Structure 1
Amino acid sequence: MTIQTPPPFEPVDAGPHTPMADTHSPLHRNLGVGSIAFMALAGAAPLGAVIAAFPIVVSVSQSPAIPLFFVLATAILTLFSVGFTRMARHVPNAGAFYSYVQAGLGRIPGTGAATFAVGTYVMLSLALAAYIGAATSDAIAAFNGPITPWWLWTAVWVLITGALGYRDVELSAKVLGVVLVIEILVVVTIDAAILVGGGADGISAASLNPGLLTEGFPSMGLMFAFFSFVGFEATAVFRNEARDPDRTIPRATYVAVIGVGLFYAFSAWAVTIGVGTNSIVTAATDDPTGMVLGLAQSFVSPIMQDIMQILLLTSIFACMLTFHNVLTRYTYTMGTKGILPAAVGVVNVTHRAPSRASLVVSTVIAVLLLAVLIAGLDPVAEVYTWFSGAATLGVIVLMALTSLSVLVFFRSRPEANTGIWSTAVAPAVALVCLTVVTWLVVKNFPVLVPSTIAANVLLVVLVATFAVGAAVALVFRARRPRAYQALDA
């Protein structure tokens, strides 16, 4: 008797009502609230935000009210999460933002949002890969090591990310959990040391004065504070791998948003005390890179500064791994819907993960990195700055579209409308706020992407990615009606 070995990949019926027992090779459904929240929080790269984003928020706003900017951003994203999580139980697949847009606005905008999201996360992954390579090279040199090319370390990190992304997502969650806990412990240690030491001028609540929001350029401060949260939306992408998605996804989302918001606000207040409310604007403007690292050296010990330089690499890696997994799930879901080739919409029977989609993502990022290397672009000043700026705009637009979709969805389905707060009021307020933030980002896009040519090209690319998806849906409607209908499956 011959025993047949199953192929390493098998297609999965990803329909919303297909029970696990009826699927050939289901995704590994073992993620709980903690695992999903860890991946979302790691995507926000908290240590990287404290070291790099805090000084930028202060310098561009010319205001010491940095804790208030993070409180406002947290409030807006919490309002967004109300409608987002309420609708989660009605969106059965792992497409996250694009699935919400499709459920609320229809197949054509939804498919456009799908390709738009993929383009957005590809840009972000490319930016992070270039940055971590340059940061690793600089760290080695700082510790008296040899001068090495950035692209060598970028290749190493991309390989590690791809290897983890290929396997069961629970492994990634464990790695990200360890990295995240270490990051938070380090920042909390510095915060505590500053408060115990009394800071530069004593403990003060001056930076919490709402009157400061009328000074300087508060809109710029809010905009850059908002950018520090990019990554929390990863929660819904792992729906198909959650143990109990209707309970797990909402809880993980609130943990991610409120948890990271409180962490940022408290740490921003501590940093303001450490530098001094009257001195922080000058310090952030004169030495943005060294401001927080200097606090670690002054209030803890010189070795803490060295530790933070190393942990900055792991923080970026955690962010990189999170978005690799997010992009993989988008790619996988689009493969099951026929938007991308069906070959990427299969599950590895050994790892019970969308491994082929992960390979495709790794390959695309590697090819794009080779292209920027051949073009001779600077990994930080150009690749990271340009593409992270464009990606941030993309994520905010997706959130605004999602809020609009929540409103339309519940308005057109009275039977699903179980509460005016979660289905109308909160999504409407979030939509207004996110529209304002989108306008601020577009208005100040030259600040994010200093090159006018690059800014215009990236804006065109973002619009084009949406147009491509919408065009695919239109072709399906005209020539492949069954595939068009299946987009809602």
Structure 2
Amino acid sequence: MSHPTSTLAPDGTDAPGIGTKLSGGSLTTTSIVFMVIAAAAPLTVIGGALPIGMAAGNGPGFPTMYAVGAVILVLFSVGLTTMSRYIDEPGAFYSYVETAFGRRLGMGTAYLALLTYTAIQFAVYGFLGQQLTLLLAPIVDIPWWVFSIAVAAVVGYLGYRSIELSSRALGILLIAEIAIVVLIDVVVVGRGGAEGQGLNVDPFLPENIFSGAMGVGLMMAMAGFIGFESTTVFRSEARNPDRTIPRATYISVAVIGIFYTVSGWAVVQAWGTDNVLAEATANPDEMIATTAVNYLGSWAGPVVHVLLLTSLFACVLSFHNVLTRYQHAISHKRGLPRRLRAVHLTYRSPHMSSIVQTGTVFVLTVVCALVGLDPVTEIFTWFSGLATFTIIILMLLVSVAVLSYFRSTPALPVGVWKRTVAPVLAFLGLATALYFIATNLTMLVGGNEVVALLLALSAPVAFVTGVVCSTFVPEFDDDVIIRAMEDREKRMGRTTR
């Protein structure tokens, strides 16, 4: 059975009165939280980023950096969610900047956000493709890029369908990956840590927090939260968004922060304060799997490896949904081709945006494969480093936008904590994180100074491109166009409904 998919008239304009709005009221707080936490890829962070953060950062004190990062992002969320009540558009970060500073800077922010989420999504595609290649190597010899494209096709199909389908899939995968880590945590605590020596609070002691490269630790910890801010992207599809979005945002930050901090602490207990740094340095790729085997038994190793793959899949699916809605929203502002505004009449999804996003992944994957880039040491390292750098810039822009907006609207019923204190504290925390990221960007992208410079320059290039596009493409009003088309139809003696 075929479904109507075209939501544009033959001349390329919007179909009268319908076809460009996403399904409203379909997402609950739980649905949004699942998608946001899935984007953060908790098992991937604990299994990959945690050992690297310990090795390159502040050793056994690294888990505390997740708590610090969570506090900074809770402060950021105060201004973010408060201002979201006065913004009807689902464009997330760019909508805040546009509301405060105008369309040009807003569009620059929109393009920077597209760069950020495209980078982190493609980084994970590269890593996932390589993991599938290694897993199936004893059976079949298939290059990583084939798996990446195959996964992108599945993600594209789910993104093409209704958002509820993606939400259900993400919920199942997320519960599984969190469950295995929680089980490890519980058993470690039950056994009293390494060799039954007893539990301690060493990761939270000043001598460990300030050991090694604490700045690098904060940088690595902040990277683990990428995706939490995407709650506002789903505003137009949320039930009672004035309550759902703030609630989902705070729950997401709290769950991610507590999960990372407690699980990081448990890993330190599992190996012992004196031994955990050596293990993280010598065996970062297999540290969490080895921990699982040591405390749960031999069955846990393969389970962790499989759930790591599902964690990566959930991550790319979540970011696919974020990107398609960003593109859909930006298209409404004439920042991208009008076709991306189209919404499937049956699924109420931004299906054209989903197709374009899937095609983008295909092209990037093929180009990188032809160039011969390594999917982990180059694609994953470079693009995830870029995303970490640009996401903090975006948050800083939003913090400034929140402060400016509430300063210019003193009559709004918003207290001083939400309009000033929390946004200022968030700005200071984010600025500190950006300093550490900028000064360690070369290390973050694998030590290549040329790549670090090019990636750093891509941020202002994306921003300026958005500003230029908004300068030469005039803003328009959908309602004006729709009314004009309806008037034309009436004059021609036809109805529009």
Calculate the TM-score normalised by the size of structure 2: 0.91
CA distance in 2: counterparts of 1:198 and 1:138, whole angstroms: 35
Give the SS at the match of 1:51.
helix
CA distance in 1: counterparts of 2:119 and 2:19, whole angstroms: 34
1:62 positional shift: 3.7
The amino acid of 1:419's aligned partner reads G
Give the SS at the match of 2:324.
helix
In the alignment, which residue of structure 2 is the partner of 1:306?
Answer: 302
1:484 positional shift: 13
**For residues 154 and 482 of structure 1, do their structure 2 counterparts lie closer, same or farther at Cα, with a shift above 3 Å needed?**
closer
CA distance in 2: counterparts of 1:112 and 1:485, whole angstroms: 24
Assess if the C-alpha contact under 8 Å between 2:4 and 2:346 holds in 1.
Answer: no
In the alignment, which residue of structure 1 is the partner of 2:93?
Answer: 97
In the alignment, which residue of structure 1 is the partner of 2:162?
Answer: 168
The residue correspondences of 1:119-198 to structure 2 (distance < 5 A) are 119-141=115-137, 144-198=138-192
1:399 positional shift: 0.8
In the alignment, which residue of structure 2 is the partner of 1:437?
Answer: 433
Calculate the TM-score normalised by the size of structure 1: 0.92
Assess if the C-alpha contact under 8 Å between 1:46 and 1:183 holds in 2.
Answer: yes
- Find out whether 1:410 has 2:406 as its counterpart: yes
1:359 positional shift: 0.4
The amino acid of 1:169's aligned partner reads I
In the alignment, which residue of structure 2 is the partner of 1:357?
Answer: 353
CA distance in 1: counterparts of 2:449 and 2:365, whole angstroms: 22
CA distance in 2: counterparts of 1:484 and 1:462, whole angstroms: 30
CA distance in 1: counterparts of 2:247 and 2:210, whole angstroms: 35
Gaps spanning 5+ residues in structure 1: where? 13-21
1:390 positional shift: 0.4
Give the SS at the match of 1:302.
coil
Give the SS at the match of 2:226.
coil
The residue correspondences of 1:62-461 to structure 2 (distance < 5 A) are 62-141=58-137, 144-200=138-194, 201-449=197-445, 450-461=447-458
CA distance in 1: counterparts of 2:21 and 2:109, whole angstroms: 26
Assess if the C-alpha contact under 8 Å between 2:58 and 2:209 holds in 1.
Answer: no
Assess if the C-alpha contact under 8 Å between 1:417 and 1:423 holds in 2.
Answer: no
CA distance in 2: counterparts of 1:64 and 1:448, whole angstroms: 20
CA distance in 2: counterparts of 1:121 and 1:485, whole angstroms: 30
Worse-matched range after superposition: 446-455 or 85-94: 446-455
- Find out whether 1:465 has 2:443 as its counterpart: no
The amino acid of 2:145's aligned partner reads W
Worse-matched range after superposition: 196-205 or 180-189: 196-205
1:244 positional shift: 1.3
Assess if the C-alpha contact under 8 Å between 2:130 and 2:376 holds in 1.
Answer: yes
Worse-matched range after superposition: 164-173 or 408-417: 408-417
Gaps spanning 5+ residues in structure 2: where? 10-16, 481-497
Assess if the C-alpha contact under 8 Å between 2:325 and 2:353 holds in 1.
Answer: yes
1:6 positional shift: 9.1
**For residues 195 and 337 of structure 1, do their structure 2 counterparts lie closer, same or farther at Cα, with a shift above 3 Å needed?**
same
Assess if the C-alpha contact under 8 Å between 2:149 and 2:361 holds in 1.
Answer: no
The amino acid of 1:160's aligned partner reads V
Assess if the C-alpha contact under 8 Å between 2:133 and 2:142 holds in 1.
Answer: yes
CA distance in 2: counterparts of 1:332 and 1:443, whole angstroms: 35
1:343 positional shift: 1.0
Give the SS at the match of 2:302.
helix
1:152 positional shift: 1.4
Assess if the C-alpha contact under 8 Å between 2:33 and 2:252 holds in 1.
Answer: yes
Tell me the C-alpha RMSD between the 2 structures. Answer: 1.9
**For residues 481 and 53 of structure 1, do their structure 2 counterparts lie closer, same or farther at Cα, with a shift above 3 Å needed?**
closer
In the alignment, which residue of structure 2 is the partner of 1:18?
Answer: none
CA distance in 2: counterparts of 1:187 and 1:122, whole angstroms: 28
Assess if the C-alpha contact under 8 Å between 1:130 and 1:384 holds in 2.
Answer: yes
The amino acid of 2:449's aligned partner reads T
Assess if the C-alpha contact under 8 Å between 2:58 and 2:210 holds in 1.
Answer: no
The amino acid of 2:5's aligned partner reads P
Assess if the C-alpha contact under 8 Å between 1:473 and 1:484 holds in 2.
Answer: no
1:386 positional shift: 0.5
C-alpha deviations, 1:269-307, integer Å up to 9, x for none? 111100101111111111111222111000001110110
The amino acid of 2:409's aligned partner reads R
Give the SS at the match of 1:9.
coil
CA distance in 1: counterparts of 2:22 and 2:47, whole angstroms: 37
